[in-house]
């Protein structure tokens, strides 16, 4: 009898797989090649566990002999766009044929931050951000970044034998984001918010089930808590602005509160809290990922480390005691930035991004249905040997001169939705590199430590390293 039950169960599972695997949505002719996997689940699990070097993508490009193929990810039928042409098409058709889209778990956590992302209101919010983080506007923040980095290394790195890099760098970037976005430094509040953000990130790309104890449920509770705390900060800032106690251009929060749209309307407090929440998360975690990867590669490549060290040492020697870094110093860090760019090519902090088809359209002769989700990934070009010869070799010289071809190197995205914080990230990364290499050389404690995406690139064990301070 047990054998019969086992046989029936096996037949039932086979039938389920047969019915749902390779199923084709009806009503659409000439879809790209590919399969949509199991019902609801699709190919999401294979996608998430296929590894961070783009195996999911390149296996299918080879199988279907195409740079566009269909699949099903995060519960939705999807089309993956690969290569330079795929990037160019998506970036140049933003809000025409496609718009930004987020998986259900992201929408549940960030709510209005994502629900209004393509509206006029969101466009105005992005204008606020771009106004304050233009290169000329950021120059005044370099000294603050330098001061914060100095204090961070004195408090958490100096006089230590072994440190765990990833959590330390995340703390540094989060603290700096709080200061630059909202001008607060209360260590107790920072610690509370930082802990809550950890739950948000764990639930961001989790299974979209909101039940007690699930990662999504924890993330949603943390989201509500953070936004309540932000509302308290916003209300206090409004009072300070009304009394003239602070400047409307002090930071992004003051700018949002003080600037009206073309109709003379101001953003309401709840929406500002949502936007600040999104900025707080987005402006620190990716930068922490990049800085941690830089530590990893410099430990593995002593000849690259030595060139970065020499460049940063010359800058350090040119400064008088107590003199802070300035814009001219940043411009001298050309080789260091080429190294950071090569790190982001090999290990982009984010593995993927989504769009949604606004209407039926045709791409490369294939029909793309309205409402389908469109996926792009930096790895489809970053690891392409035609665009980057010997793609797995670390070579900062790729970024000398005019650099890679357009749409080939896209760690910050492209088009209207290119990350507005690109220059902010460059400054923060270079200031971090300056303080790191002028103080230490180091070695990895786990030579073969893996990189995982949860959801950003991070070392599986946090990247423990042994520090060797430079002799004075």
> Measured between alpha carbons, how far is 411 from 377 in angstroms, rounded to an integer?
9
For residues 54 and 380, is the Cβ–Cβ distance under 8 A?
Answer: yes
Strand partners, 71: 78
Written as six digits, the tokens of 263 are 């109709």
For residues 96 and 198, is the Cβ–Cβ distance under 8 A?
Answer: no
> Torsion-angle region of residue 389: left (phi > 0), alpha (psi -120 to 50) or beta?
beta
Residue 455, preceding peptide bond in cis (omega within 30° of 0): yes
- Identify the CA nearest to 181 among candidates 285, 279, 273: 279
Of all helices (H) and strands (E), which one includes residue 362?
strand 361-363
| Furthest-apart CA atoms within the chain: distance in Å | 86
**Residue 151 among known ligand-binding residues:** no
- Identify the CA nearest to 167 among candidates 291, 48, 277: 291
Instruction: Please report the DSSP string for 63-117 in residue order.
Output: HHTSSEEEEEETTEEEEEE-HHHHHHHHHHTBTTTEEE---HHHHHHHTHHHHTT
Instruction: Provide the 10 A C-beta neighbour count for residue 463.
Output: 25
- Identify the CA nearest to 84 among candidates 398, 356, 384, 342: 384
Dihedrals phi, psi of 356, to nearest 5 degrees: -130, 140
Q: Which residues lie below 8 Å from residue 305, measured CB to CB, with a gap of 6+?
A: 298, 299, 437, 441
Sign for the pseudo-dihedral over CA of 53, 67, 372, 98: positive
Please give the C-alpha separations between residue 63 and each of 32, 44, 128, 368, 386, in angstroms, as whole numbers.
Answer: 12, 18, 45, 20, 18
Residues within the annotated binding site for heme? 419
Residues within the annotated binding site? 419
């Amino acid at each position: 009898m047990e054998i019969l039950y086992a046989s029936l169960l096996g037949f039932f599972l086979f039938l389920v797989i047969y019915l749902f695997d390779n199923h084709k949505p009806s009503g659409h002719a000439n879809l790209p090649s590919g399969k949509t996997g199991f019902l609801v689940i699709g190919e999401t699990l294979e996608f998430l566990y296929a590894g961070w070097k783009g195996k999911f993508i390149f296996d299918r490009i080879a199988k279907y002999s195409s740079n566009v193929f269909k699949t099903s990810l995060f519960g939705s039928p999807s089309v993956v766009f690969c290569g330079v042409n795929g990037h160019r098409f998506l970036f140049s058709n933003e809000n025409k044929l496609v718009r930004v889209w987020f998986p259900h778990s992201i929408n549940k956590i960030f709510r209005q931050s994502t629900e209004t992302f393509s509206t006029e209101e969101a466009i105005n919010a992005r204008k606020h951000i771009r106004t304050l983080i233009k290169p000329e506007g950021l120059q005044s923040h370099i000294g603050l970044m330098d001061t914060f980095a100095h204090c961070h290394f004195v408090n958490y790195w100096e006089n230590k034998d072994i440190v765990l890099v990833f959590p330390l760098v995340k703390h540094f970037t989060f603290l700096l984001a709080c200061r630059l976005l909202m001008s607060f430094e209360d260590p107790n509040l920072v610690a509370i918010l930082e802990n809550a953000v950890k739950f948000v990130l764990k639930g961001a790309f989790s299974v979209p089930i909101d039940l007690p104890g699930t990662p999504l449920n924890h993330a949603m509770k943390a989201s509500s808590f953070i936004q309540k705390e932000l509302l308290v900060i916003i209300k206090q800032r409004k009072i300070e602005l009304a009394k003239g106690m602070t400047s409307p251009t002090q930071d992004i929060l003051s700018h949002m509160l003080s600037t009206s749209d073309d109709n003379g309307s101001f953003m309401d407090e709840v929406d500002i809290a949502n936007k600040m929440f999104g900025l707080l998360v987005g402006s620190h975690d990716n930068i922490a990922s990049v800085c941690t990867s830089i530590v990893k590669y410099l430990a593995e490549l002593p000849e690259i480390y030595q060139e970065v060290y020499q460049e940063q040492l010359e800058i350090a020697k040119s400064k008088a005691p107590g003199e802070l870094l300035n814009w001219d110093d940043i411009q001298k860090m050309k080789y260091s930035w080429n190294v950071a760019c090569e790190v982001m090519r090999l290990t982009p902090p984010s593995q993927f991004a989504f769009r949604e088809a606004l209407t039926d359209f045709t791409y490369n002769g294939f029909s793309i249905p309205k409402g389908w989700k469109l996926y792009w990934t930096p790895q489809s070009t970053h690891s392409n040997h035609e665009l980057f010869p010997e793609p797995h070799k670390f070579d900062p010289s790729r970024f000398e001169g005019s650099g890679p071809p357009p749409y080939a190197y896209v760690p910050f995205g492209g088009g209207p939705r290119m990350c507005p914080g690109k220059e902010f990230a460059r400054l923060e990364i270079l200031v971090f590199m300056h303080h790191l290499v002028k103080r230490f050389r180091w070695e990895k404690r786990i030579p073969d430590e893996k990189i995982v995406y949860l959801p950003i690139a991070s070392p599986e064990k946090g990247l423990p390293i042994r520090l060797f301070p430079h002799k004075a």
